[in-house]
Chain A
Amino acid sequence: EPEVTQTPSHQVTQMGQEVILRCVPISNHLYFYWYRQILGQKVEFLVSFYNNEISEKSEIFDDQFSVERPDGSNFTLKIRSTKLEDSAMYFCASSAWGTDTEAFFGQGTRLTVV
């Protein structure tokens, strides 16, 4: 069964460092998303991406964040200068035709900023 895969599963980084979280969405899907979940809190929307551009972003997704689809299969989230409060589980998701179709999530990358 097709699935969304994320790497790494866990990343520890020092405050101020740049991190790149990687995702391989389901191959025939067109819409891609990043969400995050701070420990003990709700899953929050960060950004949606379609047709090689951001379609929507939340207020959390400030200039420190960027997304890219560098090739036909990968979808990345970059955090330029990490802060302690960026520590969270980051989930990538994809859907075939946007919000009218089921969204499938990856297993997540646990980011710990020290």
Chain B
Amino acid sequence: KQEVTQIPAALSVPEGENLVLNCSFTDSAIYNLQWFRQDPGKGLTSLLLIQSSQREQTSGRLNASLDKSSGRSTLYIAASQPGDSATYLCAVITDKLIFGTGTRLQVFP
């Protein structure tokens, strides 16, 4: 059974720091991996989709990498801002999305 874990569970940093959020999964037989942002009490906003043939994907200050063989993905956030405060979820994709536990990020001014 696929298990998806995210470390750290929570992170509090000053504005301007570069951050790395980690996602690990137990079964490397995945199609793709997707990163989401969730604001409190709100829906899921898609950030990046990494297809299994790709090793990384970039969007603005976000860069996500995928290493299927080691069962890991990282989300790199450059020059963090208070507006980045949210919970970040990774989801491995087989025939459905299997979500991780999330990293709750707080960026303070």
Does A114 lie at the interface of the complex (its beta carbon under 8 Å from any beta carbon of B)? no
Q: Determine whether the beta carbon of A99 is less than 8 Å from that of B93.
A: yes
Q: Determine whether the beta carbon of A45 is less than 8 Å from that of B98.
A: yes
The residue on A at minimum CB distance from B44 is A105
Residues of B within 8 Å of A, CB-based: how many?
24
Does A32 lie at the interface of the complex (its beta carbon under 8 Å from any beta carbon of B)? no
Q: Determine whether the beta carbon of A43 is less than 8 Å from that of B89.
A: yes
- The B-contacting residues of A in range 93-114, CB under 8 angstroms, are 93, 99-108, 110
Residues of chain A whose beta carbon lies under 8 Å from any beta carbon of chain B: 6, 33, 35, 42-45, 48, 55-56, 91, 93, 99-108, 110
Q: Determine whether the beta carbon of A56 is less than 8 Å from that of B43.
A: no
Q: Determine whether the beta carbon of A99 is less than 8 Å from that of B43.
A: no
B-side binding surface: helix, strand, loop or mixed?
strand
B105 to chain A, nearest CB (A): 17
Query: CA–CA, A48 to B102, complex, Å?
Result: 23
Q: Determine whether the beta carbon of A103 is less than 8 Å from that of B34.
A: yes
Query: CA–CA, A35 to B36, complex, Å?
Result: 14
Q: Determine whether the beta carbon of A45 is less than 8 Å from that of B42.
A: no
Q: Determine whether the beta carbon of B94 is less than 8 Å from that of A99.
A: yes
Known: A99-B93, A103-B34, A105-B44. 12 other contacts (CB 8 A): A35-B97, A42-B100, A42-B101, A43-B97, A55-B95, A91-B44, A93-B44, A103-B97, A105-B43, A105-B46, A107-B42, A108-B43
The residue on B at minimum CB distance from A46 is B96
Contacts of A6 in B (CB 8 A): 43
Query: CA–CA, A55 to B96, complex, Å?
Result: 10
- The A-contacting residues of B in range 35-68, CB under 8 angstroms, are 36, 41-46, 49, 51
A29 to chain B, nearest CB (A): 13
